[in-house]
Amino acid sequence: MCFASIALADDFKATDGKEYKNATVTRVEADGIVVKTKGGISKVYFAELPTDVQERFHYDPQKAAAAQAAVVRQTQELNQFNSQQEELAKQQKAASAKQYQQGARAISVC
């Protein structure tokens, strides 16, 4: 038995008036839908869509808030990691410079 997923094109109009014509929903996420149109791929947040569209894709504000909180947490962790890496690189550079200076002094003494 074979099941085919058929994605039908649809028109979506955001609450700010922006229209997504002949859009195919490629992914449904907790906080919005990803649509493919002639103009490219866009993520449209449920907060920007009318209630009937939110209901059609089973929007749950609590799940959306949890998903957004997870993204914020991941971003903060990544920023902290990057800061640590930058600090480590600075320390390594300083240690190399100090080692180079000590080696240069040892040569000049001889």
Question: pLDDT tens digit string along 39-76?
Answer: 999 999 999 999 999 999 999 999 999 988 999 999 99
Residue 1 predicted with pLDDT over 60? no
Residue 3 resides in a domain: no
Whether 24 and 5 have beta carbons less than 8 Å apart is answered as no
In this prediction, residue 49 carries a pLDDT of 95
Tell me phi and psi for residue 18, to 5 degrees. Answer: -65, 135
DSSP secondary structure letters along the chain: ------PPEEEEE-TTS-EEEEEEEEEEETTEEEEEETTEEEEEEGGGS-HHHHHHTT--HHHHHHHHHHHHHHHHHHHHHHHHHHHHHHHHHHHHHHHHHHHHHHHHH-
* Between 108 and 11, the higher pLDDT residue: 11
Looking at the 3D structure of the chain, how many domains does it have? 1
pLDDT of residue 103: 75
Q: Is residue 88 part of a domain?
A: yes
Residue 109: the pLDDT is 58
pLDDT 10s digits, 73-100: 999 999 999 999 999 999 999 988 888 8
**Predicted local confidence at residue 4, as pLDDT:** 38
